[in-house]
């Protein structure tokens, strides 16, 4: 599945920050000093940048994204002189002054960059910014509140982990001797990875616990290397070619787009947009979806005349007895084009052709309470949130303030284009 994940991942990948692409080191005339990340490197540091592209540092070089070429790190970080020890992206939404800044550590100094510009007053002594944090670090990583107790930074040196609270500027030291000595640490899609040699080990950011079969070889997951099984066509998706099957936001605030065999989470866009096989999250749904909606801490995936209902926790668990037929579950015949439930409501708005049927989810058995013609047809997906309803059709969407306005409107509003910011496609 690894292979497929990366391949699909790349399909949707946002082209890595291109402004300096011209200065890229070409494969052909690369001097012997240019490192090859497929040769089994040990990275000095890894961090996302302010756009969600991952930066991998080694010596005087940096790679942007999982597929970019090696570039001199001074192209992005002009004032940098030689290798870095550690890097992280600041997560401090309380303070716009340093939120999303890229912090680089070298010996006893810290550099703070934003949009490739060094902030005034940097480099500084590490302790001026981060009291009690040691010099000559091995690694650093952001740890937002919710994943750590408070908005924090984890600093690594040897087997010691210094947990730094950003707001109080205090730190606690733990020793995780069961972890390998991390030369870089990377937070990606809410998970934490300690890189050591060419390998990485995933750990829990509070307990340090390692669950699962580690170490794993980074070349299978975080880069595109020949003979590691994930070559193939990596054409980025154009926004005008987008065609969704479904979209939903679950009760945990996670928003998912579905298209063909893949899904993508868009609320984690700070880490870039990455697509994965639907079966990675919803194991039993192996033929794509027609419509998806969320209700009462559950997610309903509809395909043909079948409904799969999953309990939405950290993982999705298929509820016993499912799939069932659409008829049995919702009181209407499948297939379904789109479906959505608005926040704090108990009605599924089910779209079939140019009709919308309202199914009351608190009633047993389920019955259609209302049926209305719509001013649109060939609808792909629908999403209802605090900002109203988005009805997706091809590469465009229509905005409505409420289901009532959607059903009562005689003419459709002017459609808007799906943008790169919405789902990481290209203009």
Ligand X SMILES: *[C@@H]1O[C@H](CO)[C@@H](O)[C@H](O)[C@H]1NC(C)=O
| Dist. CA 398–CA 400, nearest whole Å | 7
To the nearest whole angstrom, how small is the minimum distance from the Cβ of residue 5 to ligand X? 17
Q: Which is nearer to ligand X, 195 or 316 (CB)?
A: 195
Residue positions counted in the chain: 427
To the nearest whole angstrom, how small is the minimum distance from the Cβ of residue 65 to ligand X? 23
To the nearest whole angstrom, how small is the minimum distance from the Cβ of residue 207 to ligand X? 22
Q: How far is CA 217 from CA 8, 9, 21, 41, 221, in A?
A: 19, 18, 27, 11, 8
Q: What are the structure tokens assigned to 114, written together?
A: 């934003």
Q: Are 229 and 2 in contact (CB under 8 A)?
A: yes
The phi, psi pair for 155, rounded to 5°, reads -105, 130
To the nearest whole angstrom, how small is the minimum distance from the Cβ of residue 198 to ligand X? 6
Q: Which is nearer to ligand X, 134 or 215 (CB)?
A: 215
230 assigned binding-site residue: yes
Q: Are 316 and 250 in contact (CB under 8 A)?
A: no
Q: Which is nearer to ligand X, 201 or 347 (CB)?
A: 201
To the nearest whole angstrom, how small is the minimum distance from the Cβ of residue 188 to ligand X? 18
Q: Which is nearer to ligand X, 43 or 105 (CB)?
A: 43
| Dist. CA 93–CA 99, nearest whole Å | 6
Q: Which is nearer to ligand X, 99 or 216 (CB)?
A: 216
| Dist. CA 338–CA 349, nearest whole Å | 8
| Measured CA angle at 46 (ends 42, 50), to 5 deg | 160
To the nearest whole angstrom, how small is the minimum distance from the Cβ of residue 204 to ligand X? 20
Q: How far is CA 167 from CA 129, 137, 152, 391, in A?
A: 12, 21, 8, 41
- DSSP for 158-178? TTEEEEEETTTTEEEEEE-TT
To the nearest whole angstrom, how small is the minimum distance from the Cβ of residue 68 to ligand X? 24
Q: Which is nearer to ligand X, 199 or 268 (CB)?
A: 199
| Dist. CA 53–CA 112, nearest whole Å | 17
Among the listed residues 245, 261, 264, the one whose alpha carbon sits nearest the alpha carbon of residue 338: 245
CB atoms within 10 A of CB 57: 23
Tell which positions 183-222 bind ligand X, by CB under 6 A.
197, 199, 215-217
Q: How many residues bind ligand X (CB under 6 A)?
A: 5
| Dist. CA 399–CA 397, nearest whole Å | 7
Tell which positions 215-244 bind ligand X, by CB under 6 A.
215-217
To the nearest whole angstrom, how small is the minimum distance from the Cβ of residue 200 to ligand X? 9
Q: Are 13 and 64 in contact (CB under 8 A)?
A: no
Tell which positions 326-365 bind ligand X, by CB under 6 A.
none
Pairing between β-strand 70-72 and β-strand 298-303 as defined by DSSP bridges? unpaired
Q: Which is nearer to ligand X, 37 or 303 (CB)?
A: 37
Q: Which is nearer to ligand X, 122 or 214 (CB)?
A: 214
Q: Which is nearer to ligand X, 54 or 201 (CB)?
A: 201
To the nearest whole angstrom, how small is the minimum distance from the Cβ of residue 421 to ligand X? 37
CB atoms within 10 A of CB 131: 11
Q: Which segments are annotated as binding site for heme?
A: 230, 274
Q: Which segments are annotated as binding site?
A: 230, 274
Judged by the rule CB under 6 A, the positions of this chain that interact with ligand X are 197, 199, 215-217
């Amino acid at each position: 599945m690894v292979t497929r994940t990366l391949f699909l991942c790349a399909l949707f990948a946002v082209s890595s920050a291109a402004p300096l692409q011209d200065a890229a080191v070409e494969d052909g005339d690369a001097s012997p000093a240019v490192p090859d990340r497929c040769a089994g490197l040990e990275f000095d540091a890894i961090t996302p940048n302010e756009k969600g592209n991952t930066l991998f540092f080694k010596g005087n070089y940096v790679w942007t994204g999982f597929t970019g070429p090696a570039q001199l790190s001074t192209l992005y970080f002009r004032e940098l002189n030689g290798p870095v020890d550690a890097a992280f992206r600041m997560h401090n939404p309380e303070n716009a002054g340093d939120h999303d800044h890229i912090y680089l550590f070298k010996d006893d100094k810290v550099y703070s960059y934003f949009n490739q510009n060094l902030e005034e007053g940097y480099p500084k002594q590490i302790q001026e910014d981060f009291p009690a944090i040691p010099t000559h670090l091995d690694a650093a990583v952001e740890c937002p509140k919710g994943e750590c107790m408070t908005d924090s930074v984890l600093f690594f040196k040897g087997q010691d982990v210094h947990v730094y609270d950003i707001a109080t500027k205090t730190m606690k030291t733990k020793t995780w001797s069961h972890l390998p000595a991390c030369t870089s640490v990377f937070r990606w899609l809410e998970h934490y990875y300690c890189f050591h040699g060419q390998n990485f080990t995933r750990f829990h950011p509070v307990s340090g616990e390692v669950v699962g079969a580690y170490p794993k070889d980074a070349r299978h997951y975080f880069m595109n290397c020949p003979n590691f099984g994930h070559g193939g066509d990596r054409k980025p998706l154009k926004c005008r070619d987008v065609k969704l099957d479904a979209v939903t936001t679950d009760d945990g605030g996670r928003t998912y787009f579905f298209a063909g065999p893949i899904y993508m989470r868009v609320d984690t866009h700070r880490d870039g947009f990455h697509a994965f096989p639907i079966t990675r999250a919803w194991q039993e749904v192996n033929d794509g979806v027609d419509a998806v909606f969320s209700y009462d801490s559950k997610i309903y995936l509809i395909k043909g005349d079948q409904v799969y209902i999953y309990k939405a926790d950290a993982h999705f668990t298929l509820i016993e007895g499912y799939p069932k037929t659409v008829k049995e579950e919702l009181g209407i015949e499948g297939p379904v084009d789109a479906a959505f439930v608005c926040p704090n409501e108990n009605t599924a708005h089910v779209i079939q052709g140019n009709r919308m049927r309202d199914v009351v989810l608190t009633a047993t058995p389920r019955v259609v309470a209302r049926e209305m013609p719509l001013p649109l047809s060939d609808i792909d997906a629908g999403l209802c949130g605090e900002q109203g309803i988005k009805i997706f059709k091809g590469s465009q969407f229509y905005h409505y303030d409420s289901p009532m306005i959607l059903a009562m409107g005689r003419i459709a509003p002017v459609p808007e284009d799906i943008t790169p910011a919405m789902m990481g496609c290209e203009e």
